[in-house]
Amino acid sequence: MTMVLKLFEISDFLLLLSAIITIYVAQYYYKYFTRVNPLPGPFPFPFIGNLPQYNLWFKGDIKAFYGYNYKKYGDIYEVHLNGNRNIVLARVEYIEKLLTPSIKNSHLARYPNDEGLNELGIGGKGILFNQDHKSWKYNRQFFTQAILSPKFNNEAIYWTNRLFDELEGYWNKLYLKEEIIKENKNIDFTTWFSQYTNDMIIKLLTGERSYSMAAYFDTLSDEKSEHPRAIVDDSVRLVQALRKLLVGFILFVYVPPFLRHYIPYFKNKADDLLQSVRFINKRLDEIIKNRRKEIENTPLDKSLPNDMLTSVITANTPRDVNYTKTVGGEALNRPLTDSEIRGNILDGFLAGTDTTANTISYIVYYLAHYPDVKKKMMEEIDMIFQGDKTRPITEDDFQKLKYCEAIVKEVSRIFTVVPTILRTIKKPDEIAGYKWPVNTFFRINADAIHHNKDYWEEPDKFNPDRWLIEGSESKKLSFLMFGGGLRICPGRKLAMIELVCLTALLYRKYEIDLVDMNASLDVVSGGVTACNELLVKIKPRN
């Protein structure tokens, strides 16, 4: 009897469960088939949308996934991921409203919701993850003021040279001694430049030295770097926490709170990330506090360092030459709080390291495959430096390195490091010929736009010269290396300084060859397309 009851109970339970699932599935597909503006796209599954196609077929590679669907479905299609309907756009005519630089443009949000980012403590602060229009505008004003100032640019050129000297010091010991050159050792270029950009951005943003390159050198060499171990370890801890946040924040954007809070796999990851954020905040707060003290103790007539931290601390104080009385028509003439300052510094790190480091790897890859381009570049470099392989690069040199600049742009067009750009509309609007409700999530496929023959002549040809032909400016919004509109990358000048100067510093002195000319680029593409490894051999140029 109890057996029968038990069976009855189990079958009842299964019946109930299957009824719930059937209702959910029916409701899911009812919503899907009655959605506003149905567009072509891969067919979604209940609960998981297009996750199987994205994860199983394309191994979570954004570039490959959106590239494949673009070929199949065209300039406008939809995919369903992470509980959101993504409208994917690949024509400049479709994105004008989203990326118009007018202050009247209200489509400034990136993500459909910011609950998770707020929970992580990075939403509503700084600029990168800030979806609050007023607060974003306020912070962006000071970020831009700091990073685009001439003295910041000079600082960037100075540190590009200085850290390159440090890098060469390590390379000399590891790869370039007479007896080692014969061994023809492989260098993982990507890892070195990832460490380089960490050290570079931390110095420029905070004025503090960090020792990522030294730490990497220490892992490769028996002879250790000259920097005290404790200082190296301390800076590595900060960089590791920052990198964890950079890679992991997406968990707080797309994974539902229930999973983050209660399901062990997600909860452990979420807790780990929250701990990293607490650590980062504590370290940055210490740095901010110390700098405030240093500034207070510096007489008004004495100049201050040129890093971003000093600029944002002194913004809207008597030290500020650009005292800003209004921001977007509103009186916001107060200095930034510590929490706002922290948000801006954090954003500079998150947005300014991997983007730059990976681009330099792609430049090396393309130059190796296009000897004619490399030859032309060498002519420019040799003309400017006249055989001097060691003098620091100046602002004047940077301005003259036009072909190097064209190479940076062409590599970024043909192999785009940020393949898609995101916007969510916060009021209904007509976009790409359809009327969309509030909170529609758009993904602009920069990669596809960069390869569209309507905007580019022979789009698949790697041709830096296209950037130098007078009067052949690319069509508005067809080049999205740095995004566009009001949220365009504020670090673009810094990025160009780093990339152009590094290209010249590297090639004026070294011959750089790929270890395997037949290998394609080894990349994984998320928000940023990251190079896993780029093995090269270097030797001094004759």
Which helix H or strand E contains 5, and what residues bound it? helix 2-33
67 or 490: CB nearest ligand HEM: 490
On the 0-12 / 13-18 / 19+ scale of CB atoms within 10 A, 2 is: exposed
153 or 225: CB nearest ligand HEM: 153
Q: How far is the C-alpha of 61 from the C-alpha of 532, rounded, in Å? A: 13
- Does 489 engage in binding with ligand HEM (CB under 6 A)? yes
On the 0-12 / 13-18 / 19+ scale of CB atoms within 10 A, 356 is: buried
- Does 490 engage in binding with ligand HEM (CB under 6 A)? yes
Q: How far is the C-alpha of 205 from the C-alpha of 283, rounded, in Å? A: 14
Site for ligand HEM (CB under 6 A): which residue of 194, 235, 355, 503? Answer: 355
In the three-class reduction of DSSP (H, G, I as helix; E, B as strand; rest coil), residue 123 is classed as: coil
Under 8 Å between Cβ of 357 and 190: yes
- Does 91 engage in binding with ligand HEM (CB under 6 A)? no
CB of 128 to ligand HEM, least distance (A): 4
Number of CB atoms found within 10 A of residue 492's CB: 14
Site for ligand HEM (CB under 6 A): which residue of 270, 495, 506, 538? Answer: 495
Nearest to 105 by CA among 438, 487, 528, 370: 487
Taking contact as CB under 6 A, which single stretch among the options 114-122, 225-233, 390-398, 413-421 is the one that binds ligand HEM? 413-421
Residue with tokens 């009855």: 8
DSSP 175: I
Name residues contacting ligand HEM, limited to 155-174 (CB under 6 A).
Answer: none
Which pair of tokens denotes residue 5? 């009851």
Name residues contacting ligand HEM, limited to 94-153 (CB under 6 A).
Answer: 127-128, 140
- Does 407 engage in binding with ligand HEM (CB under 6 A)? no
Which residues does residue 434 pair with via DSSP β-bridges, in sequence order?
Answer: 431
270 or 501: CB nearest ligand HEM: 501
CB of 449 to ligand HEM, least distance (A): 12
C-alpha dihedral sign at 223, 225, 228, 231:
negative
Taking contact as CB under 6 A, which single stretch among the options 12-20, 176-184, 272-280, 353-361 is the one that binds ligand HEM? 353-361
Site for ligand HEM (CB under 6 A): which residue of 494, 497, 501, 502? Answer: 494
187 or 360: CB nearest ligand HEM: 360
- Does 92 engage in binding with ligand HEM (CB under 6 A)? no
- Does 253 engage in binding with ligand HEM (CB under 6 A)? no
CB of 46 to ligand HEM, least distance (A): 31
347 or 405: CB nearest ligand HEM: 347
Residue with tokens 């954004």: 62
- Does 363 engage in binding with ligand HEM (CB under 6 A)? no
- Does 352 engage in binding with ligand HEM (CB under 6 A)? yes
270 or 351: CB nearest ligand HEM: 351
CB of 242 to ligand HEM, least distance (A): 13
Q: Is 489 annotated as a binding residue?
A: yes
- Does 527 engage in binding with ligand HEM (CB under 6 A)? no
CB of 483 to ligand HEM, least distance (A): 2
- Does 421 engage in binding with ligand HEM (CB under 6 A)? yes
Residues in the chain: 542
- Does 483 engage in binding with ligand HEM (CB under 6 A)? yes
Query: How far, rounded to the nearest angstrom, does the alpha carbon of residue 255 sit from its chain's CA centroid?
Result: 21
Taking contact as CB under 6 A, which single stretch among the options 61-69, 219-227, 256-264, 347-355 is the one that binds ligand HEM? 347-355
Site for ligand HEM (CB under 6 A): which residue of 418, 448, 500, 531? Answer: 418
Site for ligand HEM (CB under 6 A): which residue of 116, 343, 464, 491? Answer: 491
Site for ligand HEM (CB under 6 A): which residue of 487, 503, 508, 512? Answer: 487
Which pair of tokens denotes residue 138? 């306020």
Report the Cα–Cα distance between both ends of the chain, in Å, rounded. Answer: 93
Site for ligand HEM (CB under 6 A): which residue of 484, 530, 536, 538? Answer: 484
Among left, alpha and beta (phi > 0; psi -120 to 50; other), residue 8 is: alpha
- Does 207 engage in binding with ligand HEM (CB under 6 A)? no
DSSP 17: H
- Does 417 engage in binding with ligand HEM (CB under 6 A)? yes
CB of 98 to ligand HEM, least distance (A): 9
Nearest to 461 by CA among 495, 521, 523, 410: 410
Under 8 Å between Cβ of 77 and 40: yes
Under 8 Å between Cβ of 191 and 216: yes
CB of 43 to ligand HEM, least distance (A): 29
Taking contact as CB under 6 A, which single stretch among the options 181-189, 315-323, 417-425, 516-524 is the one that binds ligand HEM? 417-425
Up-side HSE of residue 465: CA atoms within 13 Å toward CB?
Answer: 9
Residue 120 amino acid letter: L
Site for ligand HEM (CB under 6 A): which residue of 78, 347, 405, 447? Answer: 347
Taking contact as CB under 6 A, which single stretch among the options 214-222, 378-386, 435-443, 489-497 is the one that binds ligand HEM? 489-497
Q: How far is the C-alpha of 13 from the C-alpha of 9, rounded, in Å? A: 6
Q: How far is the C-alpha of 212 from the C-alpha of 148, rounded, in Å? A: 26
Site for ligand HEM (CB under 6 A): which residue of 198, 356, 361, 525? Answer: 356
Q: At a CB cut-off of 8 Å and minimum separation 6, what does 386 contact?
A: none
Q: How far is the C-alpha of 64 from the C-alpha of 41, rounded, in Å? A: 15
- Total residues contacting ligand HEM (rule CB under 6 A)? 26
Residue 166 amino acid letter: E
Q: How far is the C-alpha of 145 from the C-alpha of 276, rounded, in Å? A: 29
Annotated binding site for heme: 489
Annotated binding site: 489
Chain residues in the site for ligand HEM (CB under 6 A): 127-128, 140, 201, 347-348, 351-352, 355-356, 359, 417-418, 421, 481-485, 487-491, 494-495
